[in-house]
Amino acid sequence: MLGRALPNEKPEYALTAAEIRVIDQLAARAGRTPAQNPRISEYLREIARLGGYLARSHDPPPGNIVMWRGWSRLMDIQLGAELASGTFMGN
């Protein structure tokens, strides 16, 4: 996984600006403040949280199923945000 291979890369390496914006808003609503120099591993952890990952200190890294669930939920939330704001660019 990208988060394990390149955890210190910038989130723009794998996420679009819209995805980053949605993740930042979701984290802020949950009371988590974004870091000054965000890393891709932090964003992937937020995606894993959407998939049910609890992110406790003794938990192993999230697996493929949790990441898939989180990614799927993120895409649904992003679509809803685009439809609500009128910026949806569907086919």
Q: Distance between CA 46 and CA 53 in Å, rounded?
A: 9
Instruction: Specify the pLDDT at position 74.
Output: 97
Q: What is the CA radius of gyration of the chain?
A: 13
Instruction: Specify the pLDDT at position 1.
Output: 63
On whether residue 91 sits in a domain, the answer given is: no
pTM of the model: 0.87
Whether pLDDT at 91 is above 60: no
Contact 55, 45 (CB under 8 A): yes
On whether residue 90 sits in a domain, the answer given is: no
Q: What is the pLDDT of residues 5-64, one digit of tens each?
A: 888 899 999 999 999 999 999 999 999 887 788 999 999 999 999 999 999 999 999 999
Domain of 7: which CATH number?
A: 1.10.740.10
On whether residue 22 sits in a domain, the answer given is: yes
Count how many domains the chain has: 1
On whether residue 52 sits in a domain, the answer given is: yes
Question: Could you tell me which residue, 91 or 7, shows the higher pLDDT?
Answer: 7
On whether residue 49 sits in a domain, the answer given is: yes
CA distances from 31 to 26, 41, 53 (A): 9, 18, 17
